[in-house]
Amino acid sequence: MTHSSPYEGLAVPFPVPPAPGEMIEIAPGVLWLRLPLPFRLNHVNIYLIHDGDGWAVIDAGIADAVSRQAWEALMAGPLAGQKLTRLFVTHFHPDHIGLAGWLVERFDIPLLCSQTTYLMARNIALDPLSLDAQFYRDFYLRHGMDRDVVDLVVTQGHSYLRMVESLPPAFRRHVAGDVLHIGSRMFEVLGGEGHAPEQLMLYCRDERLLLAADQVIARITPNVSVSALDPDGDPLGLYIRTLRTLGADIHPETLVLPGHELPFVGLGTRGEQIVDHHAERCALIAAACAIKPCSVADLVPVLFTRPLDPHQWSFAFSEAHAHVNYMIHRGDLACVVDAGTVRFTSTSVR
């Protein structure tokens, strides 16, 4: 994820996040808490919505001992005597679904999510060794990554994907267009693409509340990555399409509750900022590829100038690839293959 000017053009009604073990009521019957993450992005936002005789939980946190202990402390402290009613998971990334299996079993609640979320997380949990498969190594090598970097990315860089508890054998499927009643509120289920396939969001139109997951975040841009499973896909194009749909449909005074960073008002403004950010990244790639053909690996330091650990390198490579594929689909880049390595050149200099 990359940084922009903090909160420019946005209203931030809750400028101080909840401390560890604490919760903030950001609307009547809507609680905000944070769980720690062992990464540079060091937290994930969790929301609880009053749901009859208990609380519906939105997202679970990552599967590690620290997060389990945090949940136990919450249930013994601020939520003592309270009941959890169900768990709604927005998408399959480990910081959101990692502890879902544990929470469902520990508190005997159902799991609600999209089918893609469930199947992708379950696939990784069932076959974690596949993350180091030759298929992934060949994909990275073909796009210019050095062998020693490949070794780090497919082991250390992919290790976070294993931080997911086994999911229950059944779940309740939701799709975009559904209506979900939580307590007295009616939420429209919205779909998002680009950051994660079939990511789901919840929009209470009457109260102007949007639980936006990782689709729109203040101050940082969500990672948009090409997967080796869909090497020619255009996740950035899908992501920008989702941003524009949200901007057209969501009331401009809606309070956005994102998966990371602070809640904010100004969805349309933030969407425009993110689109502009990606346009700037594409311009950097076009300039580099106008000088000489570049592989995806060649373009990582063009977009990310700071030192990267294996975890960050994996994200940076996949995000650079997303920009390349977006530009290929738009006709701004052309592909050339040289000695088995795929490189890209600007069409403006052909």
Give pLDDT tens digits for 281-294: 999 999 999 999 99
Does residue 349 register a pLDDT over 80?
Answer: no
Q: How far apart are CA 32 and CA 307, in angstroms?
A: 33
126 Cβ contact partners less than 8 Å away, ≥ 6 residues apart: none
Closest CA to 165 of 101, 86, 112: 101
Residue 214's Cα: distance from chain center in Å? 4
Q: What band does 118 get if pLDDT is binned at 50, 70 and 90?
A: very high
pTM of the model: 0.94
Q: What is the pLDDT of residue 9?
A: 92
91 Cβ contact partners less than 8 Å away, ≥ 6 residues apart: 97, 114, 117, 195, 196, 198, 199, 200, 213, 214
- Among the ranges given (162-171, 173-182, 189-198, 201-210), the one the predictor scored with the smallest mean pLDDT: 162-171
Strands 111-113 and 84-88: parallel
CB 60 within 8 A of CB 100: yes
Distances in Å between the alpha carbon of 132 and those of 47, 94, 149, 159?
Answer: 34, 18, 13, 10
Q: Which fold has domain 2-127+163-286?
A: Metallo-beta-lactamase; Chain A (3.60.15)
Tokens 């005789």 sit at which residue?
53
DSSP-assigned letters across all residues of 147-202: HHHHHHIIIIITGGGG--PPPPS--EE--TT-EEEETTEEEEEEEE-SSSTTEEEE
Q: Tell me the angle at which helices 100-107 and 65-76 cross, rounded to the nearest 10 degrees.
A: 30
CB 93 within 8 A of CB 196: yes
Give pLDDT tens digits for 126-179: 665 566 778 888 999 999 999 988 888 877 766 777 889 999 999 999 999 999
Q: CB 116: neighbour CB atoms within 10 A?
A: 18
- Rg over alpha carbons for the chain, rounded to the nearest Å, is 20
Q: What is the pLDDT of residue 129?
A: 52
Q: How far apart are CA 283 and CA 229, in angstroms?
A: 27
Give pLDDT tens digits for 59-107: 999 999 999 999 999 999 999 999 999 999 999 999 999 999 999 999 9
Q: How far apart are CA 201 and CA 195, in angstroms?
A: 13
Give pLDDT tens digits for 27-45: 999 999 999 999 889 999 9
Give pLDDT tens digits for 252-284: 999 999 999 999 999 999 999 999 999 999 999
What mean pLDDT is predicted for residues 186-213?
Answer: 98
Q: What is the pLDDT of residue 331?
A: 96
Helix residue ranges per DSSP H, 77-166: 94-97, 100-107, 115-126, 134-142, 147-152
Q: What is the pLDDT of residue 155?
A: 76
212 Cβ contact partners less than 8 Å away, ≥ 6 residues apart: 201, 246, 256, 257, 258, 259, 267
CB 34 within 8 A of CB 44: yes
Q: What is the pLDDT of residue 350?
A: 47
Q: What is the pLDDT of residue 339?
A: 87
Q: What band does 122 get if pLDDT is binned at 50, 70 and 90?
A: confident
